[in-house]
Amino acid sequence: LRSGEFVATIDCKRGGKRKKLVIYMTFEDGRRIVAPTWPRSRYEGLANMEVGSKIRIIYIESSRGNLCVRGAALLASPKKVSASAL
């Protein structure tokens, strides 16, 4: 993975240690990524996005050389399944 913008689908979200929000996602090219986020900036915008949402996620390289999530934008909400379709 490198710095840049990527399109991904949120597969799962869970709470982590020290108030982290851990996001599991699949990029358009099929790569699966685990991204920890912190409460700063409301978890980079990911806190209110639903599982199944298609997002644009921005990674930057920190001064220590680590890749960090620095923002996310909702591209499409997950499709709702109606009760009659089941």
Longest dimension (CA), the chain: 52
Which tokens sit at 51? 């599982």
Q: Which structure tokens are listed for 10? A: 């949120």
pTM as predicted: 0.80
Q: How many percent of the chain have pLDDT more than 70? A: 91
Please say if the pLDDT value at position 48 is more than 60: yes
**Secondary structure in 3-state letters for the chain:** CCCEEEEEEEEEEEECHHHCEEEEEEECCCCEEEEEECCCHHHHCCCCCCCCCEEEEEEEECCCCCEEEEEEEEEECCCCCCHHHC
